[in-house]
Structures are given as C-alpha cells and as structure tokens.
C-alpha cells in the first residue's frame, strides 16, 4: 500500500455537485449487476412459448392479438419481475453491506431507487423487445389498422408496479426465501384476482389482466368497426401508477431513509398514490359493458369513441360484388370466390 | 478536535457494550486496543454513525451526528471499514469502489480519478477489473480499505483493518495509515499491538466498555516495564494496564 500523491492539506468537497451525472453513473452500475438481466431470458422464453405462439395462432387482426398480448405478457413476466426485484431489494441484507451503506451520505431511499430503477429498466426492455417483435409481425400480416397502444401501456405500468412491490418485499423482509415466495404469491394474486369478477361490473376489473368483459374478452369488432375504448386501460394505468408511487414513496418512510423533509414528502406522496389507486378501483367498479363489447367507464368515457371507424371497404367484383372491412381483406378470396353466388359478410 | 466524546454509553438490551467513554482525538492515528468483547466495535460503530448512543455526547468533525443535516455532512467526510466487510461478488474492484464514491457524494466528474487513486493506494491497480468473488481474503480487506478512503475522509474508522493481510501488506498498510494520519483523524481498532506501535500516534485501551488508558504508545510501553506479561514491550504495557484495571 502506497502513501504518495496525496495533497497535504485538508480538502473540502465542492458544494455544487452534479447529482444528475452521479445518479446516471449509479444507475449504470446497477444495470450491469442486476438480477433481472439474468432472469430476462426466462421471461422472454415464456413469452415466446405461450403468448407469442398463442397470439400468432389468432387471426391477423390488431385488436384480437393486442388484447391477447396484454394478459399473456403479464402472466409471463410477473414471476421473473417480482422475483428479481425482491432479490435485488434484499441484496444489502443478504450481502451484509448494511453498515457500509448506512454511513454513506446519499439518502438510503435514493440508493434503493437506483436499484429498483435498474430492475424495472431491464424488465421493460425485455417486454418492449417482445412487443416490438410481436407488433412487427402483426404489422406485416395485418391488412389494415394499426397497433393498439393502450394494452402495451398497461403492461409497461404493470411491470413498474410489480417490480416496486417485489422490491419493497425484498427490502422490508430481506431473506433468501423472500424472492421466490414473493414471485409465487404475486402470480397467484394476479391470476386469482380475476376469479372474483362476476358479470361486467366489478371492482376487480382493475386487474391489469382484464382487457374487456372478463368472460368473453373484447368483442372481435373492437378496434375495427369501433374504436378500442381506453376507459378501462386509463383506470388500470391510474391504479398501477398510484400503486407504484405509493410503494416507492413508502420506502422513504422509515427513520434513517432520509431527512425529515424527505420523509414528510414521502408520506404525502404515499397518500396521494394510494388515493389515486383507490380512485381507480372505484372507477373500475362503475364500468359497464357498452354496445360494442367493451367496458365503458362513464367518468372517463369520451363520446367520440362511440362513433364507428370510417373505412374504405375492399371489394371484389364478382357476379355479386363482395365488400369487406379492409381489416378482413385477407378473407376476401375465401368469401368471394369467382364462382360464389353470395357473400358471407 | 475531530472526535469529541463524553460519557458515551451504548446498551444492547441489558448488556452494556460501551459504558461512559470519554475520548478526544485530533488529526493522527489513534489505536483502539482491547480484548474481545471490550466494546471497541460498538464504539467505532457509534463514531461511524451506524448506531446511535444510548446516552452521552458525541461530536464528530465539529458536528452533532444526532441531527440529519450535520450527520449527512459528517458522512461525506467519513470513511469506515467494518469488522466484517460485506461485498457484492459480481462487482469488480473498481466498480465496488466507484459505487461507494458515488454514494459518498464524491462529485461525479471526480469519481474516476478518486477510484483509481484509492485502488492504487491499496496496491490493487492490477486487479481493478477483477471481480470481487475471485479475490483472496487479504485482497478483499484492501478493497474495503479502498472504499473507505475513496472520498479522502477527514475521519477514518477502521475495524481490524489488518486481519487477513500478509506481513508485507501489513507493513505497507502501516505506511498508508501514517500518511493518512497526517491530515485526518484515523481510528484503528485492532488486537495487534505491533500495528499500534508502528503506526499510531495515540493509543486508547478499552476494557468492559470503558477507556482504561489513553496516551502515546511510548506511555503504554512504559506501563509494562516491570509488571507486564508479553513478548514485546507494548504487549507488556497492554497486559499491565488491563491487569491494573481489573484488580
């Protein structure tokens, strides 16, 4: 160990600190050493084995495939994301670095947030990659229409919320068993939550697995003849973001997480998050099945979405001309062969 | 004075780990000697702001660590090596030290240079890119020292820093301690009296939670001139003071 090159005088660190750059460096370190990175191939494989293959077996219609993707992707990602987040959340305790980290100047909450952010970034990157491939293939196969972004947004918000819940579990109850237990529990809560839905009006429709009437799913014509109603998606996003904010802010509540100001702000943000989540649950409970097979929430409903979508039909000039919505253009040869005498749609 | 302690007590349930310690320390190297369970680690953890005292007065770097804002300022200027170093096996040496530099609020632009300097000072420059899981116990100890000094602390607290170091590294480490002690207050908790003799300007002997001796290594050596037991003069002083305190 050497003793050179040290200034002889006591040096104070400058008052102005570029905290943004420091946070970026911290995030980069956390991204490099995050359990989610290692478990991501499992999530992607699950997505390919179940959601991708099932979705590709459906007709090449944006609405049908996007709705299937939302619930499928969530089921695929819930266990890896919650497990990895809980594992990362319990890292300090598992690795006995608590003393070392307690005495650092940066507030504990800021440190935890960087670890959570890295976990969530990898989960989202994995999901968005899967989504890009899926939507790319659909865009190649579908004859009309465009991607539905509401289901994709709900999954993104769900991953953030699931990651926050898993991370909080790992932080608050650190241990080697926390991650697997949290992952399994999250899977069952998500899967069984929808079992409580009865009819088209239920508070449990707030579950991000739900894309439309739970028993039947969204009507096949949604997004083709009528716009995809974002009402339920908006309520779900509000719920998930509220939950995420509340859980993350709650991590700053314990004594030692930061200064009094930070903890007071965290308490206010936690309350606001819970309020937003609770309001969203209330809104979801007021949802009704509309005439076009989607859940409409009166408070969030935009009447403009009730108008049919304009389209220029694709026609085939046979003995009896057959015209179809362009979304079904690929079916035209089947429903209007040169010798056919009637059209089926 | 960078460390001002008076009547400091820490209890864990019914057990009293530190019982009314009075201690002051300015720049230099203070060796904290004592038998197992004497309260060295508890005292060091209080000075590191890991745990708060049950009672008594503690001022570090002229500030009261009981309040958040001064505590944060103290922590910016503090280095600490705990007895059992926890670490992340997947991190490289440089990444681990960088992680702590960032958490200690070292300005981001200065972090790379600070990390390189800290790693070089513990002679791990050649292992900067090695993952921690591949290092020996002695090397890990040096990584721990590197993270403690990366922010060029004004108060450096080292709990058994030489445990696991080979003789050559220990000699080098004593040199580092002497250098750090020129501008900072370094408190070293150790069982090894030869470390104290070679590197410390002051020595405090703690037994059953109380400081039973505080002076220079020469003073401690003098205490053992007639009655002490041990191979080295400092060991004889150590045992003489302990015997006197217990009788």
N- to C-terminal Cα distance for chain B?
A: 33
Give me chain A's average pLDDT, please. Answer: 87
Of the pLDDT bands very low, low, confident and very high (cuts 50, 70, 90), residue A343 is: very low
d(CA B170, CA B122): 11
d(CA A279, CA B169): 63
Of the pLDDT bands very low, low, confident and very high (cuts 50, 70, 90), residue A338 is: low
Interface test with B, best of A105, A109, A112, A118 (most B CBs within 10 A): A105
With CB atoms and an 8 Å threshold, state whether B173 touches A26.
no
pLDDT tens, residue by residue, A97-121:
999 999 999 988 999 999 999 999 9
Rounded to an integer, the average pLDDT of B173-181 is: 88
pLDDT of A206 reads: 92
With CB atoms and an 8 Å threshold, state whether A106 touches B105.
yes
pLDDT of A10 reads: 42
Neighbour order of strands in the sheet with B185-190: B78-81, B155-159, B185-190, B28-33, B202-207, B210-215
- A5-15 b/e (C-beta count within 10 Å ≥ 16 → b): ebeeeeeebee
pLDDT of A4 reads: 44
Of the pLDDT bands very low, low, confident and very high (cuts 50, 70, 90), residue A132 is: very high
pLDDT of A7 reads: 40
Strands B202-207 and B185-190: what pairing? unpaired
pLDDT tens, residue by residue, A272-286:
999 999 999 999 999
Q: What is the DSSP string of A279-305?
A: HHHHHHHT-EE-TTSSEE-TTT--GGG
Q: Are the beta carbons of B41 and B206 closer than 8 angstroms? A: no
A-chain residues within 8 Å CB-CB of B73?
Answer: 105
Strands B202-207 and B78-81: what pairing? unpaired
Better-predicted residue by pLDDT, A14 or A281: A281
Rg (CA), chain A: 25
d(CA B199, CA B193): 10
Rounded to an integer, the average pLDDT of A145-161 is: 94
Of the candidates A17, A92, A96, the beta carbon closest to that of B84 is on A96
Q: Are the beta carbons of B162 and B195 closer than 8 angstroms? A: yes
Of the pLDDT bands very low, low, confident and very high (cuts 50, 70, 90), residue A161 is: very high
d(CA A216, CA A212): 8
Strand partners, A323: A315
| Fold topology of B3-77+155-246 | Rossmann fold (3.40.50)
pLDDT tens, residue by residue, A294-313:
888 999 998 888 888 888 88
Q: Are the beta carbons of B204 and B210 closer than 8 angstroms? A: no
With CB atoms and an 8 Å threshold, state whether A9 touches B183.
yes
Portion of chain B with pLDDT greater than 90, in percent: 68
Of the pLDDT bands very low, low, confident and very high (cuts 50, 70, 90), residue A137 is: very high
Q: Among residues B45, B48, B33, B83, which one has the least CA distance to residue B199? A: B33
Q: Are the beta carbons of A324 and A313 closer than 8 angstroms? A: yes
The answer on pLDDT for A16 being more than 70 is: no
Q: Are the beta carbons of B227 and B240 closer than 8 angstroms? A: yes
Handedness of CA B123, B129, B130, B133 (dihedral sign): positive
The answer on pLDDT for A72 being more than 60 is: yes
pLDDT of B24 reads: 93
Give me chain B's average pLDDT, please. Answer: 92
Angle between helices B137-149 and B167-180 (to 10 degrees): 10
pLDDT of A15 reads: 46
Of the pLDDT bands very low, low, confident and very high (cuts 50, 70, 90), residue B244 is: confident
In the block, residue with structure tokens 């004004």: B154
* Domain locations along chain A: 22-306, 315-345
Task: Please tell me the distance in Å from A71's CA to the nearest CA on chain B.
Answer: 35
A-chain residues within 8 Å CB-CB of B88?
Answer: 33, 91, 95, 97
pLDDT tens, residue by residue, B120-159:
999 999 999 999 999 998 899 999 999 999 999 999 999 9
pLDDT tens, residue by residue, A182-232:
999 999 999 888 888 877 778 888 999 988 777 666 667 777 888 888 999
Better-predicted residue by pLDDT, A310 or A169: A169
Task: Please tell me the distance in Å from A5's CA to the nearest CA on chain B.
Answer: 8
Strands B28-33 and B185-190: what pairing? parallel
The answer on pLDDT for A342 being more than 70 is: no
pLDDT tens, residue by residue, B197-221:
888 999 999 999 999 999 999 999 8
The predicted complex's ipTM stands at 0.88
Task: Please tell me the distance in Å from B43's CA to the nearest CA on chain A.
Answer: 14
d(CA A194, CA A180): 22
pLDDT of A294 reads: 85
pLDDT of A345 reads: 46
d(CA A312, CA A294): 24
Where are the alpha helices (H) located in chain A, listed in sequence order?
19-32, 35-46, 53-56, 62-89, 91-94, 98-102, 108-141, 149-172, 178-193, 231-250, 260-285, 332-335
- Tell me the backbone φ, ψ of residue B32, rounded to 5 degrees: -105, 105
The answer on pLDDT for B112 being more than 70 is: yes
d(CA B81, CA B186): 11
Task: Please tell me the distance in Å from A78's CA to the nearest CA on chain B.
Answer: 25
Q: Among residues B134, B157, B154, B126, which one has the least CA distance to residue B144? A: B157
Of the candidates B75, B85, B87, the beta carbon closest to that of A105 is on B75
d(CA A61, CA A142): 6
Q: Is B191 left (phi over 0), alpha (psi -120 to 50) or beta?
A: alpha
- Least confident span in A201-205, A341-345, B90-94, B184-188: A341-345
Coil/strand/helix, residue A137: helix
């Amino acid at each position: 160990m050497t003793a050179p090159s040290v200034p002889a005088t006591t040096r104070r660190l400058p008052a102005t600190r570029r905290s943004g750059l420091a946070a970026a460096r911290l995030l980069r370190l956390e991204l490099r050493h995050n359990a989610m990175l290692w478990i991501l191939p499992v999530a992607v494989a699950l997505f390919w084995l179940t959601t991708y293959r099932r979705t590709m077996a459906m007709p090449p219609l944006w609405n049908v495939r996007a709705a299937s993707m939302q619930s499928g992707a969530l089921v695929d990602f819930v266990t890896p994301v919650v497990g990895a987040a809980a594992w990362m959340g319990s890292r300090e305790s598992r690795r006995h670095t608590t003393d070392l980290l307690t005495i650092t100047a940066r507030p504990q909450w800021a440190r935890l947030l960087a670890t959570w952010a890295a976990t969530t970034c990898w989960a989202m990157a994995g999901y968005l990659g899967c989504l890009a491939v899926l939507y790319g293939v659909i865009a190649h196969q579908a004859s009309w229409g465009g991607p539905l972004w509401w289901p994709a947004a709900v999954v993104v918000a769900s991953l953030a919320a699931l990651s926050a819940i898993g991370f909080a579990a790992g932080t608050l109850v650190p241990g080697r068993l926390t991650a697997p237990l949290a992952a399994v529990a999250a899977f069952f809560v998500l899967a069984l939550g929808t079992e409580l839905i009865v009819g088209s009006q239920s508070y449990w429709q707030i579950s991000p697995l739900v894309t439309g009437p739970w028993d039947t799913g969204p009507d096949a014509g949604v997004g083709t003849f009528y716009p995809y109603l974002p009402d339920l998606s908006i309520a779900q996003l509000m719920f998930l973001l509220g939950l995420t904010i509340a859980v993350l802010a709650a991590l700053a509540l314990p004594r030692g997480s930061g200064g009094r100001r930070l903890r007071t702000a965290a308490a206010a943000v936690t309350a606001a998050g819970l309020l937003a989540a609770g309001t969203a649950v209330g809104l979801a409970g007021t949802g009704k099945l509309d005439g076009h097979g989607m859940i409409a929430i009166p408070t969030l409903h935009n009447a403009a979405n009730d108008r049919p979508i304009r389209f220029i039909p694709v026609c085939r000039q046979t003995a009896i001309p057959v015209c179809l919505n362009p979304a079904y253009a690929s079916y035209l040869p089947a429903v209007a062969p040169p010798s056919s005498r009637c059209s089926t749609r | 004075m960078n460390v001002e302690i008076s009547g400091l007590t820490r209890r864990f349930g019914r057990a009293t780990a530190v019982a009314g310690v009075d201690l002051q320390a300015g720049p230099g190297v203070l060796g904290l000697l004592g038998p197992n369970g004497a309260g060295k680690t508890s005292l060091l953890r209080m000075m590191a702001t890991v745990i708060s005292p049950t009672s008594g007065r503690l001022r570090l770097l002229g500030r009261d660590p009981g309040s958040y804002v001064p505590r944060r300022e103290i922590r910016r200027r503090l280095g600490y090596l705990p007895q059992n170093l926890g670490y992340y096996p997947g991190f490289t040496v440089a990444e681990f030290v960088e992680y702590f530099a960032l958490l200690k609020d070292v300005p981001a632009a200065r972090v790379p240079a600070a990390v390189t300097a800290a790693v070089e000072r513990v002679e791990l420059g050649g292992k900067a890119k090695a993952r921690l899981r591949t290092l020996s116990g002695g090397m890990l100890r040096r990584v721990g020292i590197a993270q403690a000094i990366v922010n060029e602390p004004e108060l450096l607290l080292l709990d058994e820093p030489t445990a696991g170091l080979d003789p050559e590294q220990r000699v080098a480490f004593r040199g580092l301690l002497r250098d750090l002690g020129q501008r900072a207050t370094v408190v070293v908790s150790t069982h090894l009296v030869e470390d104290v003799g070679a590197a410390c300007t002051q020595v405090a002997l703690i037994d059953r939670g109380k400081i039973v001796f505080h002076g220079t290594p020469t003073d401690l050596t003098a205490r053992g001139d007639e009655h002490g037991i041990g191979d080295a003069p400092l060991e004889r002083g150590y045992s003489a003071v302990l015997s006197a305190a217990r009788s």
